[in-house]
Structure formats: C-alpha cells, structure tokens
Amino acid sequence: MTNSLVSPADSPVLACHECDLLQTAPTHATHGVCCSRCGCQLLPGPGYQPATSLALVLAGLLVFILANVFPVVGLEAGGVRTATTLLGTAWQLTQQQMQPVALLILLTGVLLPGLELLCLLYLLLPLSLGRAPRGFAAVMRLVRILHPWGMVEVFLLGVLVSLVKLAHMAAVHPGIGLWSFFALILLLASSASRFDAGLLWERYHACRTSR
C-alpha cells in the first residue's frame, strides 16, 4: 500500500476529538472554537509565536534548576535541622525500600516536567531562528505524551499541606525552592495555555520549504 493516497483534509473542516463530529471551521477565529455538539475545544485561542514561547520555556528551565537545587522546606526541632528538595525526598524514600513511590515522585515531579521543557526548547529554539529541527514529529509526539504526567502544581499543594501538618511539631522554614516552584508553575501554565501545535507545524513546514 502506498501512503501517498492519504491526504490532509481540506482546511475549512474540523473533526471534534471527543465526538468526531465533522464541522466547518469559522474563517476568522479570534477566540477558541468549540464543538457544536459536545462543547469540546476544537481550536485553541490565539497561540504564542515560537519566540514568545521560547522565552517562557527558557525562564522555566532556569527556575526549574533553582527549584530542584535549593531546599523547598526546612524543619527545626530540638536543635536538629533538616531540609529537603524534591530529589532528596525521592532519595529518602529509596533508603526506606520504597522505590516505587520514590520513582513515581522522581518521574512526575522532576524528570518528566524537565524532559518536557527540554523538548520544547529543542523545538522552539530552531523554529524561532527560522530552521527546522530534526525529528520534529517524534519530539512533538513526545511532548504530547509527557504533558499529562507533569504534576509540579500538585507537588506545590503537597508542600503547603505538609507545612501545615508540621507546623504543630516544629518550626518550618519555606526555602528558595518553594518560591522557585511558584514561579515555575506560573511559567509552565502560561506557556501551556498558549501552546499551539498547529502553529508550530505550520512554522516547521515553512522553514523546511524555504531551505
């Protein structure tokens, strides 16, 4: 079977991802377009240009490093001081033979969000310079798979809950890591809310044909 028989659909039609209804796309969509049958969002609102997204991702990476290097919370009781980062949390759980939990925290809190940021950097840096990155399709797919597994915002709520739980028994000190996590969440949310995969694909094709 040859693959050339499959062609992209004519541009003004859209299919809903959640109910598969075929509908015509409005010509001038300034806001997001929603499915007329189930209400699912079909087209995102105006997305950021690659250069804008790149700025957010770069800032995100910087804050990500700060958030993982500096302690998130510290504890002081009876002359003993302890402090921890997200990595330290995973390490302590490994020491207690709780590897599955440690791995889950390591993946959802550090590795997968970090990898997603690196993937975005790999896509956005060449695109904003007018070049087409190699393996664009594979990396785009990876970002899509990684995205639901990043749970930095849940971790932040976890920190707040533990602060309250510990405040009864000892003096707790929020660290630089905690403020970095706050900043990281804001940056991740603003870059994700205006992430437009369709726009990136258009840019990619434009960059490839112009070479």
Partner 1 sequence: MSHLPLKTAARHGMWSCHGCSLLCRLPAGADQAAWHCPRCGAALHRRKPHSLQYAWAYLIAAIICYIPANLLPIMLTDMLSGTQRDTIMSGVVYLWQGGSWPLALVVFIASVLVPLLKILSMLLLLLTVHWRSRWAPRQRTRLYRLLEVVGPWSMLDIYVVGLLVALVQLQSLATIKAGPGAIAFGAVVVLTMLSAMHFDPRLIWDVFEDDDE
Distance of closest approach, residue 47 Cβ to partner 1, in angstroms: 14
List the one residue out of 200, 37, 88 whose CA is nearest residue 133. 200
13 binds partner 1 (CB under 8 A): yes
166 binds partner 1 (CB under 8 A): yes
Which range touches partner 1 (CB under 8 A), out of 54-62, 105-113, 124-132, 188-196?
Answer: 105-113
157 binds partner 1 (CB under 8 A): yes
14 binds partner 1 (CB under 8 A): yes
Encoded tokens for 12: 């003004």
8 binds partner 1 (CB under 8 A): yes
Single residue of 158, 174, 179, 186 touching partner 1 by CB under 8 A: 158
Q: Find the binding residues for partner 1 in span 110-149 (CB under 8 A).
A: 137, 140-141, 144, 148-149
Which range touches partner 1 (CB under 8 A), out of 26-34, 52-60, 74-82, 182-190?
Answer: 74-82
In whole angstroms, give the CA distance from residue 60 to residue 151: 15
In whole angstroms, give the CA distance from residue 137 to residue 17: 19
In whole angstroms, give the CA distance from residue 86 to residue 72: 8
Cβ burial 27-40 (10 Å sphere, 16+ → b, else e) = eeeeeebebeeeee
Single residue of 34, 45, 82, 206 touching partner 1 by CB under 8 A: 82
* Residue among 98 and 118 whose Cβ is closer to partner 1: 98
Q: How many residues bind partner 1 (CB under 8 A)?
A: 70
Which range touches partner 1 (CB under 8 A), out of 17-25, 60-68, 111-119, 187-195?
Answer: 17-25
Distance of closest approach, residue 190 Cβ to partner 1, in angstroms: 18
Q: Give residues with Cβ within 8 angstroms of 172, minimum separation 6.
A: 73, 74, 75, 76, 163, 166
* Residue among 57 and 72 whose Cβ is closer to partner 1: 72
Cβ burial 66-94 (10 Å sphere, 16+ → b, else e) = bbbebbbbbbeeeeeeeebbbeebbeebe
List the one residue out of 99, 89, 141 whose CA is nearest residue 119. 141
